[in-house]
Structure 1
């Protein structure tokens, strides 16, 4: 069960635990008891086999084809892991029942629990969101003990990590496998109990680091806290996107690499001081525990910490450390304790990257050494191995294959260690010696400047990322392609190595080819196949990778851009011009969509309201395009976001006008008219789940294309806002029935059946992200529009949805 140099004995067990955990935490979680019973039955059978082998060890099983004792032992361990995971899932599901029941009922609940995540900006609105590990839930006056996590979006200062708080709000059930059972919104939340002493100390360190890095350059303000403690709250959006494109996000995602740097630095100090083994074990363990508290126990951090713990156990016992058994043991323990980790991308990517380094880095380095020398071979092998292992998982998050990740990581690697070490030193100095900490952080910023330059430089290259099919099919396809390439690269080399074979064998082969007709034919065949393969790679693969769909139709009229969980609707007004409604969330997705559509001029930019998922990508829309005018919501909520948007438009010299019902215009070959743009006052909160009234202040817009298609964009109107719009349309005697509707609020449950029936569109576009955590679109919303006879098209399934009209019929292209 092992290969030379690599101990694979625990691999079947961890794979069995991972698959079981993934199954019992998803929609089919009811299979957990059945799986546990099957596992127990297998345990009984395998136990009997093991006992039989123990009583007859002299029997030679090699010739009989029966499994040996080692195989039985490994299968027995795998069955134990399956039963343990099922038992853990069943126990936790039972303890989560009161909270899960309240969430499924949409009940108003009072929660008490501990904050277990750092705050992040709210997806919608201007609050902050964080995760609460619930200890008790009170519904309709009845209190029950429970477990489970709830994502809370609240206004006001966010409570500190580790603090005990009380929250009241309406619970909304989260999709299965999301890591949280429910979500809720709340007003300001006060701490009921402060975090423990250790966590209070880490809060001081993290806050002080942010203070001393505040005067640094934008990249250093974002990256130095990121590489040191994983705080990416100030990372510039363009740099974040560049790091994603070049697979450099591990720089700020604290995991095994950061642990390796910290442990290696501490181990070197212990060796320099000639500390005994027990001192090294205690010192590394204490520092690792403190480091986990400092960077927060995210899934990838937990994986790295437990792997470190297994390695320390081996060191304490005097056993040589082995990377793969430590990883497998750590992952198995964590999956038994928390089976929901099997659905955490951070945990899966951390495990995959580590396994890739252990299994592939060495063989790849040995294969590359004759060509490049040992140092460069190792430098290339590490990112190559990590990318090969993580690639199939990453395409589930972002359907692109980064083609520049290996050279980008190779060039960025020399700066990562000094930037991390100096960032941690600055963190430790910041509360007591802020001047010295600022100087050290500035030095760390020199290293991060190099990382930022590498990320931006490679991300800006043509073809930096290859489009690839998303979903499970795309992941399997990439896995097969990766396995095939590795098989070719790692196959047994010629006797004297590739370089020598290349130098000596090629001229000899060419001489023989000239003398032999057969050799000439073989060479021609190989050359032809090689040219065909190259043609497939250059021409066919990018087209196939763009599935589902091909090139953008030349006569496109309307496009719902795939920007993830956000909105960006484009209505064509000319050859290279369009009306653009919303700019999507942070990142370059909306800009890339406009580039694909060939839009170089925006006749009118409509920002339906100021939530981040509708205006976050504004910079990418403005970049390189002429924007004639902008029309914005009459309600500046959230105020900070609205001010930032207005500043961006002012910097780009874009005229801005506040929308009002009845506003109209006729850019190019199209026409537009504002149907409604009057929301509730900010104090009322409206019906928006975010509590700021911005959703019902969305600009509702009607557009007519050059070919006569009637399009209605509803922004994020909630049911009251939609009802008000319906009444206004009926009172104004507007014609019922349109061609296309952009469904309100990503298909949330808050929909007006009256408006849906009045509009009765031929096609309903739903702009929604595949990985959204809100359950959008709801079955009720989809059914509402399907009942009108409308064809519903979702961007999470179609990608960018492009509509054309040919011979009076609407046609769809998914690009």
Structure 2
């Protein structure tokens, strides 16, 4: 087999610098953008000055003619070992300056919107819809992204440019439509570029329709949904998903199966779909003998139309720009290699939109493409003696993509899909016909619905095979193995992946093994024994021992990482946990998972490190929302331990700052940690990914309970009315569990909350999944509220030793009587809930 051509890695340092710069300048420290630009420009100036000084010094020292000096300088430059390094440094500094400058300009344009989001005032927004709608987290309606053009606060209008996620009832406006709305903005932390979120009360009408091109693509997408509606369940979801990336009708069980088997790229339109479209068009052009210039123009036109059809998501933009670089090289008669085209596209996109560095779709798209370019060929050549070239290539492609994307996926879903390679191998033959037929059905749908339905049915045969493969492999007992989440888990998997790839690609004694695999074991043992006696083979023995040690270390790492998540050690936290009531003694600390290493935390328990240890045990490194229901010590005392070593995006607190000393201490701790704080109000809501939250009531000052209703004993034993000023919160988990936390509401406060819910929410909250029982299960429980909520699980956060008699038999019997399974932290320890197929499971665990 001939040797492979060397890979052009010259743009790799620049790409890495661009990614790092974009990640930093889009973080919380907004001043980094200007600093990055300054460092890049100053660095370029210094490098230029150094090169110029070196040239002038050489001229002064050389007495020869100008022609000889130029020839000597050129020869030295061509052969200088540091010339390539200097070029890399210059390019990296240029990327740093460009990314920093681009981010600085965009942040300046976003400043009016950021100021409006931080004010808490009612604002009027004007802009265009910049995403397809997704279902709202709570109730009917949808959520979509608005690219703002102006913001009006207190009558003053200011031009701005930023992204706001809008949740609204009714039919959503079309992609690209001009809209105007008003609402109160909630600030978002650094993420995918969305600066704030807001909810509106009514449907958002279109002030102006989308452009002609977008109207045409919207008609195509809508018509495709109509003609595929009569098809089977999997075809209704997968055919639009494969063709245009519309997964709105994909069933939850099939979506989960595709995630488990790493087949989500089938509906995430990106490089693979671009390759299919471009390859099909190129083949047609070649068959028709179309000239090169016409061919380039045709491919460019189709690529632009395809981007508009599937919407410019991050992975689509990456594929489109890579295609554009390739077309430019083809038009100039200099076809570019895959890695330089990818690098140039990534740098250009990061300069234009630095927030792409924080988009998982963009990062995964770049990683997958780089993995295919760098690893697919070598892996195929290594596997070919064993399997033959066709099967070797078919295995190498999913293997390379999984190796490159695996560490990034650990940050999203901490599990290793063991069936991804065979599942992708079997599903791959169906992807091309499914994509091509799906696009044909899309083009036919507005004008010929009957033939389009027939073509869609044919595409459904191909997607049916993909769905069958996904479900079959996902149902296997070891379809995926739990893995630690967060940066540590990602780095561990990257290390293990790198070692395994090196072992596979290593050349040496194993070259001839495929032809003699039956004799491999005896030959290796014999060779090792003889090598000990021969000096010239001792290096080989050492090499083999080092490889064996690396393999053993990798295996030990897997066992050590997976054992706690597989329940092989006591106190293990289930990998798919959703809700946890921390064992903090006589106090409250509730956690709802929002990501592999993040969560929403409601209260932080009494003084000490119990709540912090619980979050460490759960793997929560970032708190997306911290809610302090009220300021009693058993709910805020553990705040320092929770803040230590963790990032807290935002804090909601009770509007009644009593007791004053404890409220002041909590505010000081939050201010010192740089956490934005605001008082909760009924109706406040937001979302973190697929997890949504909503303030149901906030006691005094929140419009739910009047001061008079609290004064008559609502304060409980404390006498400071803080209990009935508790923030009551509703959270819906990513799996769909409805969780309600009632703080320390006494009976009057609970009854007032029920009146508010009945008036505003109607039956939306009747029959929830989980309730954190009010006031540790005290006697002051509202039978009407318990009957209205009727939770499947009632959590009681209570200490083993308490002098209050919590939980009371009356409270336990009340919730048991409405059909709740009562779980107590004094008996269970940290109570962790999971949702598996609609059934709620319980794991009793405690931090070590």
* TM beyond 0.5: yes
Q: Which moved more, 1:133-142 or 1:41-50?
A: 41-50
Q: Secondary structure at the match of 1:136?
A: strand
Q: Is 1:138 equivalent to 2:173 in the alignment?
A: no
Q: Distance in 2 between matches of 1:568 and 1:184?
A: 28
Partner of 1:685: 760
Partner of 1:51: 52
The structural deviation recorded for 1:513 is 7.3
Partner of 1:544: 561
Q: Secondary structure at the match of 2:249?
A: coil
The structural deviation recorded for 1:10 is 1.3
Q: Secondary structure at the match of 1:143?
A: strand
The structural deviation recorded for 1:29 is 2.9
Q: Deviations over 1:689-722 (max 9, x none)?
A: xxx7846996885779xxx9999999xx9xxx9x
The structural deviation recorded for 1:675 is 7.5
Q: Which moved more, 1:167-176 or 1:70-79?
A: 70-79
The structural deviation recorded for 1:332 is 0.5
The structural deviation recorded for 1:9 is 1.3
Q: Secondary structure at the match of 1:176?
A: coil
User: Are the equivalent residues in 2 in contact too, given 1:213–1:221 (CA < 8 A)?
Assistant: yes
Report the CA distance shift for 1:257/1:482 in structure 2 as closer, same or farther (over 3 A).
same
Q: Secondary structure at the match of 1:250?
A: helix
Q: Distance in 2 between matches of 1:83 and 1:237?
A: 44
Q: Is 1:129 equivalent to 2:146 in the alignment?
A: no
Q: Secondary structure at the match of 1:157?
A: coil
Q: Which moved more, 1:360-369 or 1:491-500?
A: 491-500
User: Are the equivalent residues in 1 in contact too, given 2:186–2:686 (CA < 8 A)?
Assistant: no
Partner of 2:101: 87
**Superposition pairs of residues 417-566 of structure 1, within 5 angstroms:** 417-494=432-509, 497-500=512-515, 502=517, 508=523, 541-545=558-562, 551=568, 553=570, 563=577
User: Are the equivalent residues in 1 in contact too, given 2:37–2:96 (CA < 8 A)?
Assistant: yes
**Superposition pairs of residues 307-706 of structure 1, within 5 angstroms:** 307-494=322-509, 497-500=512-515, 502=517, 508=523, 541-545=558-562, 551=568, 553=570, 563=577, 567=579, 679-680=754-755, 684-685=759-760, 694=764, 701=771
Partner of 2:227: 212
Q: Secondary structure at the match of 1:29?
A: coil
The structural deviation recorded for 1:71 is 1.9
Q: Distance in 2 between matches of 1:18 and 1:72?
A: 20
Which of 236, 255, 273 is residue 240 of structure 1 equivalent to? 255
The structural deviation recorded for 1:78 is 1.1
User: Are the equivalent residues in 2 in contact too, given 1:584–1:613 (CA < 8 A)?
Assistant: no
How many corresponding residue pairs? Answer: 648
**Superposition pairs of residues 32-111 of structure 1, within 5 angstroms:** 32-52=33-53, 58=72, 68-111=82-125
Partner of 2:126: 112
Q: Distance in 2 between matches of 1:398 and 1:135?
A: 35
Q: Deviations over 1:249-270 (max 9, x none)?
A: 0000000000000000000000
User: Are the equivalent residues in 1 in contact too, given 2:178–2:210 (CA < 8 A)?
Assistant: yes
The structural deviation recorded for 1:586 is 14
The structural deviation recorded for 1:485 is 0.9
User: Are the equivalent residues in 1 in contact too, given 2:483–2:565 (CA < 8 A)?
Assistant: no
Q: Deviations over 1:271-290 (max 9, x none)?
A: 00000001111000000000
The structural deviation recorded for 1:72 is 1.2
User: Are the equivalent residues in 2 in contact too, given 1:20–1:86 (CA < 8 A)?
Assistant: yes
User: Are the equivalent residues in 2 in contact too, given 1:738–1:760 (CA < 8 A)?
Assistant: no
User: Are the equivalent residues in 2 in contact too, given 1:423–1:444 (CA < 8 A)?
Assistant: yes
Partner of 2:162: 148
Q: Distance in 1 between matches of 2:842 and 2:113?
A: 38
Q: Distance in 1 between matches of 2:499 and 2:780?
A: 48
Partner of 2:13: 12
Partner of 1:591: none
Partner of 1:793: none
User: Are the equivalent residues in 2 in contact too, given 1:680–1:697 (CA < 8 A)?
Assistant: no
Q: Secondary structure at the match of 2:127?
A: strand
The structural deviation recorded for 1:32 is 2.0
Q: Distance in 2 between matches of 1:479 and 1:300?
A: 22
Q: Secondary structure at the match of 1:153?
A: strand
User: Are the equivalent residues in 2 in contact too, given 1:125–1:612 (CA < 8 A)?
Assistant: no
User: Are the equivalent residues in 2 in contact too, given 1:222–1:236 (CA < 8 A)?
Assistant: yes
How large is the RMSD of aligned CA atoms in angstroms?
A: 4.8
The structural deviation recorded for 1:311 is 0.4
Report the CA distance shift for 1:64/1:585 in structure 2 as closer, same or farther (over 3 A).
closer
Report the CA distance shift for 1:402/1:304 in structure 2 as closer, same or farther (over 3 A).
same
Q: Distance in 2 between matches of 1:377 and 1:130?
A: 43
Q: Is 1:170 equivalent to 2:184 in the alignment?
A: yes
The structural deviation recorded for 1:13 is 1.1
The runs of 5 or more residues in structure 2 that have no matched partner are 59-69, 584-589, 597-684, 692-731, 743-748, 790-801, 809-823, 835-840
The runs of 5 or more residues in structure 1 that have no matched partner are 572-580, 588-610, 618-640, 649-658, 662-673, 687-691, 722-733, 741-758, 770-799, 805-810
Which of 305, 313, 333 is residue 320 of structure 2 equivalent to? 305
